[in-house]
């Protein structure tokens, strides 16, 4: 599940302790149903305008490059094989009688453009690809793969929300999900032909959802609700304890024995996997984290609530803040060899309708 994007049942619990309002109003807090929780302020500039690309003018630093209004929704994931071939996905959750709907955008290195989706596509939660193939997953067990200028829907065998996908190879894809409230966590594998359900090994916590999966080679790491983690060694899955009940929302790394997971609700949680065990820290002075990307040298970029953007040095568990152009929750981040980084998010800490944002870092 994405940070802030919980189901209505989780929203009601959050509303008991958090103020909510119009997501397009200045400094209004909002909550949603993604991978964990989040708290984000939507300022007048954050929540206005739509899919007009902002100019970056080549200035070094972070710049807003896309703003989406409530007719479109928030962006939950961003990924691409190159800085001029980047996809961002998300959408709008149910508003009254209106169903959930998905959105997708593409950045060609200059500007964002909207990508058409099949009719009735629900909100999309994650995007990843491998060897020229692009996959997206989302609500109602949705899994789509790009086919030229169109999409092919694949049957996953589940109606559970799918929050993350990792494409190790064309015949080895992992997807994770669950309702994040009271159901069982979901783990799926695609073998190049069809999706199948994989048994989740016994967990030491009563996790109701797996939120993200990342891997390298045949190995993979899954993180989720209540700090649940799974490790895949290329042959079988096993559960590992993290020493904390804080939700872990996302994970990325450079090797099977060097990965960083992020999460937390009100406060940031960082956890490192060294191949044998998890070590972690809760940063009481920092808001919750939602997304992480790690460059080949091991330096991580993390994003989260209140527009937080920060670096984490290799092997460390401390944040070094960067100036952010938004106060909206940033839910995901990716990067490229030339130093370009892209993060996306929206007003994901309150009930819908959501607004969205994408920001670029120009090196």
For range 267-294, the mean pLDDT: 98
Q: How far apart are CA 3 and CA 272, in angstroms?
A: 19
Q: What ranges make up the beta strands (E) of 139-247?
A: 143-147, 150-153, 162-169, 172-177, 186-190, 195-197, 210-216, 219-224, 229-232, 237-240
Kindly state whether residue 200 falls inside one of the protein's structural domains. Answer: yes
Window from 32-41, 119-128, 191-200 with minimum mean pLDDT = 32-41
Tokens representing 209? 């959802």
Q: What is the CATH number of the domain that holds 294?
A: 2.130.10.10
Kindly state whether residue 215 falls inside one of the protein's structural domains. Answer: yes
Window from 47-61, 98-112, 285-299 with minimum mean pLDDT = 47-61
For range 240-265, the mean pLDDT: 98
Kindly state whether residue 66 falls inside one of the protein's structural domains. Answer: no
Kindly state whether residue 106 falls inside one of the protein's structural domains. Answer: no
Angle at CA of residue 193, ends 120 and 135, nearest 5°: 45
How far, in whole angstroms, is CA 350 from its chain's centroid? 17
The pLDDT assigned to 3 comes to 47
- Structural element, H or E, at residue 11: helix 8-15
pLDDT band at 4 (very low <50, low <70, confident <90, very high): low
Q: How far apart are CA 71 and CA 172, in angstroms?
A: 36
For range 315-333, the mean pLDDT: 99
> Structure pTM?
0.87
Residue where the block lists tokens 């993350």: 164
In eight-state DSSP terms, residue 9 is H
Is 294 within 8 Å of 260 (Cβ atoms)? yes
CA atoms within 13 A on the CB side of 22: 8
- Does residue 83 carry a pLDDT above 90? yes
Kindly state whether residue 60 falls inside one of the protein's structural domains. Answer: no
Window from 2-11, 251-260, 313-322 with minimum mean pLDDT = 2-11
Number of domains in the chain: 1
The range of the structural domain enclosing residue 157 comes to: 8-52+73-95+114-362
pLDDT band at 96 (very low <50, low <70, confident <90, very high): confident
How are strands ordered across the β-sheet holding 356-362? 61-68, 356-362, 341-346, 329-335
Kindly state whether residue 204 falls inside one of the protein's structural domains. Answer: yes
For range 326-349, the mean pLDDT: 98
- Does residue 41 carry a pLDDT above 50? no
For range 228-245, the mean pLDDT: 98
Residue where the block lists tokens 């060694």: 233
Window from 14-23, 297-306, 337-346 with minimum mean pLDDT = 14-23
Kindly state whether residue 235 falls inside one of the protein's structural domains. Answer: yes
Best CA proximity match to 206, nearest among 265, 247, 262, 259: 247
pLDDT band at 255 (very low <50, low <70, confident <90, very high): very high
Kindly state whether residue 65 falls inside one of the protein's structural domains. Answer: no
Best CA proximity match to 247, nearest among 230, 265, 273, 267: 265
Window from 37-41, 240-244, 305-309 with minimum mean pLDDT = 37-41
pLDDT band at 265 (very low <50, low <70, confident <90, very high): confident
- Does residue 319 carry a pLDDT above 70? yes
Is 89 within 8 Å of 117 (Cβ atoms)? no
CA atoms within 13 A on the CB side of 212: 32
Q: Which residues pair with 90 in a beta bridge?
A: 75, 103
**Helix/strand/coil for 14:** helix
- pLDDT greater at residue 195 or residue 58: 195
């Amino acid at each position: 599940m994405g940070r802030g994007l919980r189901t209505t049942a989780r929203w009601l619990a959050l509303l008991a302790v958090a103020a909510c309002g119009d997501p397009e109003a200045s400094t209004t807090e909002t909550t949603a149903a993604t991978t964990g929780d989040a708290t984000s302020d939507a300022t007048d500039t954050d929540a206005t305008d739509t899919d007009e690309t902002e100019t970056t003018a080549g200035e070094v630093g972070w710049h807003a490059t896309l703003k989406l209004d409530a007719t479109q929704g928030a962006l939950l994931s961003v990924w691409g094989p190159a800085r001029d071939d980047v996809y961002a996905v998300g959408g709008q959750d149910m508003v009254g009688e209106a169903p959930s709907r998905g959105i997708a955008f593409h950045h060609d290195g200059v500007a964002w453009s909207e990508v058409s989706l099949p009719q009735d596509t629900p909100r999309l939660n994650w995007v990843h690809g491998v060897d020229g193939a692009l996959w997206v997953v989302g609500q109602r067990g949705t899994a789509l793969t790009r086919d030229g200028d169109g999409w092919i829907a694949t049957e996953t065998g589940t109606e559970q929300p799918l929050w993350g996908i990792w494409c190790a190879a064309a015949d080895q894809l992992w997807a994770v999900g669950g309702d994040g409230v009271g159901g069982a966590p979901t783990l799926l594998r695609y073998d190049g032909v069809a999706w199948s359900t994989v048994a989740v090994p016994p967990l030491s916590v009563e996790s109701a959802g797996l939120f993200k999966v990342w891997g390298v080679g045949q190995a993979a790491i899954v993180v989720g609700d209540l700090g649940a983690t799974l490790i895949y060694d290329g042959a079988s899955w096993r559960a590992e304890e993290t020493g904390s009940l804080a939700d872990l929302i996302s994970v990325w790394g450079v090797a099977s024995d060097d990965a960083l997971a992020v999460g937390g609700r009100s406060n940031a949680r960082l956890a490192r996997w060294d191949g044998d065990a998890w070590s972690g820290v809760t940063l009481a002075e920092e808001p919750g984290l939602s997304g992480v990307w790690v460059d080949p040298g091991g330096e991580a970029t993390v994003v989260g609530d209140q527009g937080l953007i920060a670096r984490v040095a290799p092997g460390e568990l401390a944040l070094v803040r960067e100036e952010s152009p938004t106060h909206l929750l940033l839910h995901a981040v990716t990067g490229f060899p030339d130093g370009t980084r892209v993060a996306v998010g929206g007003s994901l800490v309150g009930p819908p309708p959501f607004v969205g944002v994408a920001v670029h870092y120009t090196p």
